[in-house]
Amino acid sequence: MLVIGIAGGTGSGKTTVVNKILQQLNVEGVNVLSQDNYYHDNPNLTLAEREALNYDHPKSIDFELLTQHVKALKNNQSIEQPVYSFVTHSRTGDHVLVEPKNVLIVEGILVLTNKELLKEYDLKVFVHTDSDERLIRRIRRDTQERGRDLQEVLHRYQTTLKPMHQEFIEPSKNEADLIVPNMKNNTVAIDFLTTVINNSLKK
């Protein structure tokens, strides 16, 4: 199994890049584990308390479970991936059964920050987009798809998102084997990535 970690700031285009790779890959099967499904649940907190949490710090992620799931898939075992809701800031209680396949992509803002998880990757990618463009994309997405309003997005950006990006996410770029600029459609980088993945699978 080839394991690929794809990180980058919020709104950098990680999901978009992953979807383009999936369209082009010439392999039997690919699984994608999104870090977003591995946020801690915090069932003992009220909705207001959960809303106030910092979701851009590495401690907000259940890396133990994510790493355990990556290792299980590599050992040819199935996993039950939790499902997360950005509306309630908690796990829904549902699970998705994931069976092992040839390629595993692990994507998320913090997936290149965890030492144990870093050991599991064969290829590490960082998607780069300038912060002003990422903020614009984030406002658009969170108000249209994640039930947020402009004030919420801007408050979170100033209080946690930007400082955490500078402290944890941007430095994790140094772990990457490849940096994909995604300010505009970058077909060359996507073609390059799929070629690298296909070649690694042939070895």
Ligand X SMILES: Nc1ccn([C@@H]2O[C@H](COP(=O)(O)O)[C@@H](O)[C@H]2O)c(=O)n1
Ligand Y SMILES: Nc1ncnc2c1ncn2[C@@H]1O[C@H](COP(=O)(O)OP(=O)(O)O)[C@@H](O)[C@H]1O
Minimum distance, C-beta of residue 179 to ligand Y, in the bound complex (Å): 14
Residue 38 near ligand X by CB under 6 A: no
Question: In this structure, what are the phi and psi dihedrals at residue 67, rounded to the nearest 5 degrees?
Answer: -65, -40
Q: How many residues bind ligand Y (CB under 6 A)?
A: 13
Footprint of ligand X on 112-151 (CB under 6 A): none
Tell me the β-bridge partners of 90: 85
Strands 30-34 and 103-107, sheet pairing: parallel
Minimum distance, C-beta of residue 15 to ligand Y, in the bound complex (Å): 3
Query: Which of residues 6, 17, 56, 104 is near ligand X by CB under 6 A?
Result: 56
User: Taking CB under 6 A as the rule, which mask of x and - marks residues 4-23 in contact with ligand Y?
Assistant: ----x-xxxxxxx-------
Q: Which tokens belong to 91? A: 């796990």
Q: Are 37 and 83 in contact (CB under 8 A)?
A: yes
H helix and E strand count, the chain: 8, 7
Q: Which tokens belong to 1? A: 């199994």
* Partner whose footprint covers residue 55, from ligand Y, ligand X, none (CB < 5 to 8 Å by kind): ligand X
Residue 39 near ligand X by CB under 6 A: yes
Strands 90-98 and 103-107, sheet pairing: unpaired
Residue 70 near ligand X by CB under 6 A: no
Enumerate binding residues for ligand Y (CB under 6 A). Answer: 8, 10-16, 137, 141, 182, 184-185
